[in-house]
Every structure is written in C-alpha cells, then in structure tokens.
Structure 1
Amino acid sequence: MTSGAITFGVKLPNLSPLASRDSILTTGTVAERLGFTAVWASDHVVFTPTTEHDHPDRRFPVGFDTPAVDPLVALAAVAGATERVELGTSVLVLANRNPVVVAKAWASLDLLAPGRVLAGIGTGWQENEFHALGAGDRFRRRGSATVEFIDILRTCWSDPSDGFTGEFCSFGPIHFAPRPAAGIPILLAGRSDRGLRRVASHGDGFHGTNLNPAAAGEAIARIEKYAAACGRATASRRYTTLCELDLRDRPVGPDEDHGGIHLVGTPEQVAERIRAFDAAGISHLALRVRALSGSTRKEISNRLSVRAGVEQLERFEAEVTPLIA
C-alpha cells in the first residue's frame, strides 16, 4: 500500500498468542489484497524462565511463554500464498546463529519469492537466548559479530569460492546455491551511536522500532552523516520503522499517545502522525496491529482477535490512506 511517498506493511502474528497457520496466512493474504507493500515477521528462538526477571523494563508485546514461529518459515508460508508483497524480518537476531545457514535460508526464500525478500537484522538483547543457542561467548561482542556475519551473508550470496576468514566464523572455499539473482537488501536495527554507525557502514537501510517522528528524523540525519564519513554518502538507503496500530472511534489524549511512537487514535490522528513520519524521512511504516500482536505497554489489555486485526487493516485502507494520499 502506497500513499504519497510513504508505503505500509503489516507484521504477521508469528510471535503472538494467535500464532497459527491460519492467522499467519490470513494476515499475509489480506495485506496483499488490501494493497500493503510488505509483510514482516519478528524473531526469537527461545525465551527462558528468567527473561522477565532479567529484563523487567523491557517493553515487549506478549508474555515470554508465547509461541514464536520461526520468521523465515512464516514468511515462506506467506510467499506461497502471495505474489507481490515483500517479505521482511523485523528483525532477525543474526549473531546467535550460524551465518552460512541463515544465508542459505534467505537465499532459498528468495528463490520462492524472487526479489521480494528483505533481511531485517538486529543484534539482540536477551543474553540467555544466546547461551541456549550455543553462542553465549558472542553476546558481549554481538555488534562486531553482526558486522562480520553480514559480510558472510554477502559473500555467500555473491561468490564464496575463496572462503571467508573472520574472528567469529571462518570457512574454506564452498559451493553455495541458490544465490539471490538481484541480492537481498539488508536493513539494520539500532538506536545507539554504534548501531546507527553500523547502518551507515553495512546497511542497505534502517529498520527502527518505538521511534516517534522526531527521533526517526534524528536517526536518519545521524546515519546520513556517518555514511558520508565512511564513503557511502551516495548509497541508496531505505528508512523504515515499526509502529503499533490501534484505530479508535474517539480521539486519544496525550496520556494514550505514548510519546508519539504509535499510530493510535482516530483516522485523522493516525494520518497526522503518518505525515510527520513521512516528513522525517521514513519511507515505509510496518504496522504491528495491536489486535493481532498485542501492545508493548503492559498496562494495556491485549485482547487479540484475527477478525479484529483484519478489521483494523480494512479500516486503515478505507479511512486513513485517503487522508494522506
């Protein structure tokens, strides 16, 4: 779905109490039918019994015992049921995995949906998840590992015949196929100075979360500054961010606005916020529909329903997009 210069995507309920074959496929096919340009799947392999204790202030939309369908499996299912929507991860934690295996999974998805794959990558935040995956020694240096593993992805997708030598992973010459015919854009998450520098030096774009328009604009300005400093000023970059969507029939006040990071309120209020993101330089908004995936705010009741989620998407297409066309 495109309105003016900005486009819209939908987060699949793959990490949600609603996670199921039907909910994932329904969301993906409805998104394409309504004209959204992308669907997104979030990532966690495991949580641990101490996750909530270890991260008491972590804003997370669901309980840590919630089903988490692998994002690339969820996207592969949607790939087979759609023809046009892009398929993105929002975001996959790369440093806790084998990068060659991940490169093969993404390349295989691209074979099923040529030119539709977006590799959204983050550094992760849950140390126990790294330990559970045998990557605990990388956690404290996960930023450096992520940069190296991005280099490995691109090596596998282009020409791995010379192998790769790195600090965290090395291998000799390999045959790797299939390879993406046109490459796969890599969008990096991050809010710290180091994270934004990684976007500038290694990303084809940025995928933010919990940013209001002012913070998004500041992040974009810093990325462009860092890109110029590292010789990538002319590289084309996508600027995307993930927002909760909760359309209401009544206006919301400042106490429900949460600093402008979500699209909450009447169609007019949501359209105004979208125009602000557009003006800040965001080219794509990924919508995490509260009725499908829950709210990051623990004080908000997460009453989830696929039907209610579809109704939100239909209302967005019918009532919001005409206001920003």
Structure 2
Amino acid sequence: MDIGVLLPTGKAQWGTDGDPRDLVALGVRAERRGFSSLFVNDSLISPRIEALTMLAALAPATERVTLGTGALLAFLRRPVQAAQSLASIDLLSGGRLAVAVGAGFPGRFGRPFYTLSELPWERRFARLDETVALWRGLWSGATHFHGEILRFDDLPPATRPFRAGGPPVWLGGATPAALARTGRLYDGWLPYPPDPATYASGLGDIRRTAAETGRPASAVTPALFVSVQVDDRPENARRALDDYARAVYGMPLDELEKIQAVVAGSAPQVLHRLSRYVEAGARHLVLRPAALDLHGQHDQIERIAGLLPGLRAAAATAEALPPASGR
C-alpha cells in the first residue's frame, strides 16, 4: 500500500505570505512522516511552480519517495523535449519517477490550453497515446517513430532513464474509453471518482481489458487522487474543504463532491471513507491536503500521517479477503 501527498504547487495554496521555496521542505517532511510518494499537478498559465521543475528540485532533497505527476498535460510540451526532461528526472531521482498523464478536459483547462499550445483539440486522446509511445521508444533507444499523428525519422540518441524502458506511465480518467486504454496501454490508473463503487467497477473493467490483451492484473497500478481535510470537529473540516473548493475550483463543496473524490471529517471518519476506496481496490492513494496556506498544509500533513497505519491495515485486510470485482 502506497500513500502519497500532492504538494501545493499552486499559488492559491501558499497563502498571502507563503514562500514557495518551502515546498521542498514540505516534501521532505512528508517523506520523514512515512508517506511513500510526492505528486504535483500540472497547468499552463495558472500561477504555480511548473510540475517538472518541482520534481527536479525534489529529486536530490528526498531519498526514497516516488516522485509523480498527477496528471501531466503532455500536450503542453514538445514530445521529444518532454521525454528528455522526464528521463533526466528519473536519473536524478535514482529511478523514482511515476508519470501520470492526461489529455485535458472541456472547459477552461481544455480547448484554450490546446490553442495556446498550437495543437488541435481533435484527436487529443490519440495524440496522448502516441506521445507516450514515442517517449517509451526514445527511452529504449529508438531511432525513428511512425505514428498516425507523430512521425519522426533519424531521432538522435536520447537520455536514457535510470530504469530500462523508462518510468511507469499512468493514465487519469474514468470514461469507458479511458478505462479500455488504461488496460491496454498504461502502467497505472489515477482517477478521482466520488463513489468507491464506481472505482471498483472501473478497476474491474481495466483488469478485464488487460487480461484480454495478455497483460497480468499486476501490470496496472490502481491509484486514487482524493482531496482531504482532517479536523477534530467535522463541521470545521467540511467548512475548510468548502473554502478550498471555492478558491481552487470556483464552486462550492456540494458541487465539487459530485464530480471528484473529496473527504472531510474527523480522523476516524476520514480513515473510514478512505478505507472504502482501499476495499474497492485502490493501492496507491495520492492525498491532496485541502488547505489554503502553507501553515495549514503542514498541519494537514501531520494529521493525515496519523492515518497511515490504519490505511495500511485496511489494505492488508482487503488483500486477505476473497477476490471481488475490481480487486
């Protein structure tokens, strides 16, 4: 069971007097408190520390944690350049990189980003899959790549990652098409469904597709992205998460929790809700502390760290149960 933290790389989570240089210290603290991964999310123009820059800064400051993207918008970068950057981070971290990717979605983070990146919105999923295939080819020494969208002849020698074949690449998304693509092509799954039952169903579909293409169930890491707020007073936790939803997403918590996994409450309540996702098959939780300043982020890291033994015990119990749908 892996349990990680999504670091607050967006300026909205630093507070008015926050220093973004504290993000490295926050990551080191999370590692020392027993978390097994540090993730960062990605954007184009919103005020934040750029994702791959943040991971490069964390690589020499940490020792054992997985460093991940949740999720990297691959279309924002030239594909060959991105392969070089990712290989470099994998080298600097000693093979600790995991790359979750996404193609964006309709709204302010969809078409406008493609326009600014000078790429068409159409066939975005095929472009993403080909980009990942190109990365893997470069990481394995390919000298050419001929896809339907991306075509390169006489590729120069590329930086080889620490691990043969490169870091694992995960996919976000939970549509039927995304589930099928994850089962066929990707090394992990990082969705954020609001209902654990939906998670279990999606994981079952992924594993059936994997089996149909000759891949073992273990080929796909079942991960989960979830926002968390822990407080001794459940009403305070929910109020803080509502403030976070309005500041980051521009919508109240009542709306956000219909489309995204969010958990607020006392430590026992949060442990119970997260354990339901563990029972549904999740084995790598990426927890985003829902705080709007760095002091609050540090506080939530400590509170969530207290849940780690319980979550790992829940995973051990789930593994001992007879196989169920999605597990």
Q: Same fold (TM over 0.5)?
A: yes
Secondary structure of the structure 1 residue equivalent to 2:129: helix
Amino acid at match of 1:180: P
Partner of 1:32: 31
Following the alignment from structure 1 to structure 2, what is the Cα–Cα distance between the partners of residues 208 and 44? 17
Amino acid at match of 1:130: Y
State how 1:191-230 maps to structure 2 within 5 Å.
191-230=174-213
Stretch moving more, 249-258 or 91-100: 249-258
Out of 120, 143, 151, the residue aligned to residue 100 of structure 2 is: 120
* 1:178 and 2:159 aligned: yes
* 1:239 and 2:222 aligned: yes
Give CA-to-partner distance per residue, 1:106-144, whole Å, 9 cap, x none. 001011101100011001121011111111x2x121011
Partner of 1:90: 70
Instruction: Give the RMSD, CA atoms, in angstroms.
Output: 2.2
Partner of 1:57: none
Partner of 2:21: 22
Following the alignment from structure 2 to structure 1, what is the Cα–Cα distance between the partners of residues 201 and 208? 11
Partner of 2:267: 267
Out of 284, 297, 311, the residue aligned to residue 309 of structure 1 is: 297
Deviation at 1:221, TM superposition (A): 0.6
Partner of 1:278: 278
Following the alignment from structure 1 to structure 2, what is the Cα–Cα distance between the partners of residues 269 and 134? 46
Following the alignment from structure 2 to structure 1, what is the Cα–Cα distance between the partners of residues 127 and 309? 44
Secondary structure of the structure 2 residue equivalent to 1:167: coil
Deviation at 1:23, TM superposition (A): 3.3
Following the alignment from structure 2 to structure 1, what is the Cα–Cα distance between the partners of residues 125 and 161? 25
After TM superposition, the runs of 4+ consecutive aligned structure 1 residues lying more than 4 A away are 252-257
Give CA-to-partner distance per residue, 1:276-299, whole Å, 9 cap, x none. 1111110011111111xxxxxxxx
Partner of 1:148: 130
CA contact (8 A) 1:164 1:170 kept: yes
CA contact (8 A) 2:193 2:199 kept: no
TM-score scaled to structure 1, two decimals?
Answer: 0.82
Give CA-to-partner distance per residue, 1:191-247, whole Å, 9 cap, x none. 111111111111001011244311111110111112122232455211111111100
Partner of 1:99: 79
Out of 112, 123, 129, the residue aligned to residue 113 of structure 2 is: 129
State how 1:45-56 maps to structure 2 within 5 Å.
45-46=44-45
Secondary structure of the structure 1 residue equivalent to 2:285: strand
Following the alignment from structure 1 to structure 2, what is the Cα–Cα distance between the partners of residues 140 and 179? 31
Identity across matched positions, percent: 31
Following the alignment from structure 2 to structure 1, what is the Cα–Cα distance between the partners of residues 82 and 148? 18
Following the alignment from structure 2 to structure 1, what is the Cα–Cα distance between the partners of residues 26 and 193? 22
* 1:160 and 2:142 aligned: yes
Partner of 1:68: 48
CA separation of 1:234 and 1:40: change in aligned 2, threshold 3 A? closer
Following the alignment from structure 2 to structure 1, what is the Cα–Cα distance between the partners of residues 24 and 156? 34
Deviation at 1:89, TM superposition (A): 0.5
Amino acid at match of 2:186: G
Paired residues, number: 285
CA contact (8 A) 1:13 1:23 kept: no
Following the alignment from structure 1 to structure 2, what is the Cα–Cα distance between the partners of residues 81 and 181? 17
Deviation at 1:175, TM superposition (A): 3.0
Amino acid at match of 2:280: A
Partner of 2:316: none
Give CA-to-partner distance per residue, 1:146-180, whole Å, 9 cap, x none. 1111110100010212x011222211122333211
Stretch moving more, 244-253 or 189-198: 244-253
Gaps of 5+ in 2: 239-252, 314-327
